[in-house]
């Protein structure tokens, strides 16, 4: 009789615990998801991590600083600082420059390209197309401007350069308004 009662109690508690596990199950870490949502998703590796998600996990684990993402720029550092309640830091120059000007894309001079494929191999978003010993080209819509393809990687001088993407009807953004101090100084 005792074994039957213990078996019924065990089944009852198992069902209750199963219901609680299903009801309160959390997929992933919501903090990592929010941090990953702020990062630019360029997957360039300039932060020292293989992509934006691993960098977000390192920030959440407090093993990486919030200032290692040049494509995110100062605005990205500020957004991460606001989310995590940390003090904003200047961009780490060891990871690259966070030029806040126009977005940049790579441009390959097809006349000097020797088709070595070194740039194709390092492009994290497959924006460079071409085959060995043939001219390469950059697909502007996919290029994130991470600068991983620039010299000294390319053996030909001035073969790959970064150029600003001129705003058009689809990419133009309203300029940030001047602060009151800037207006008074002007």
In the chain, the domains with their CATH numbers are: 30-95 (1.10.15.40), 101-166 (3.30.70.20)
pTM of the entire predicted model: 0.58
Is residue 100 over pLDDT 60? no
Say whether the peptide bond before residue 126 is cis (omega within 30 degrees of 0).
Answer: no
Mean pLDDT of 53-64: 92
CA end-to-end distance (rounded Å), the chain? 90
* Predicted pLDDT of residue 6: 94
Highest mean pLDDT among 77-81, 90-94, 156-160: 77-81
- Which one is predicted more confidently, 181 or 111? 111
Q: How many helices (H) and strands (E) does the chain have?
A: 6, 4
Q: How confident is the model at residue 59 (pLDDT cuts 50, 70, 90)?
A: very high
Q: What is the pLDDT of residue 182?
A: 61
């Amino acid at each position: 009789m005792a074994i039957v009662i213990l078996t019924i109690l065990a089944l009852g508690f198992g069902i209750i615990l199963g219901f609680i596990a299903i009801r309160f199950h959390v997929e992933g870490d919501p903090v990592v998801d929010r941090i990953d949502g702020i990062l630019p998703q360029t997957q360039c590796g300039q932060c020292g991590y293989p992509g934006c998600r691993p960098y977000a996990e390192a920030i959440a684990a407090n093993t990486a600083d919030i200032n290692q993402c040049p494509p995110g720029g100062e605005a990205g550092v500020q957004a991460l600082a606001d989310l995590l309640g940390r003090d904003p830091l200047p961009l780490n120059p060891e990871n690259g420059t966070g030029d806040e000007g126009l977005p940049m894309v790579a441009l390959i001079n097809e006349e000097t390209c020797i088709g070595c494929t070194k740039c194709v191999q390092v492009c994290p978003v497959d924006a460079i197309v071409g085959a060995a010993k043939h001219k390469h080209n950059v697909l502007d819509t996919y290029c994130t401007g991470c600068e991983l393809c620039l010299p000294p990687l390319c053996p030909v001088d001035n073969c790959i350069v970064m150029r600003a993407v001129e705003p058009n009807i689809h990419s133009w953004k309203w300029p940030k308004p001047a602060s009151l101090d800037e207006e008074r100084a002007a």
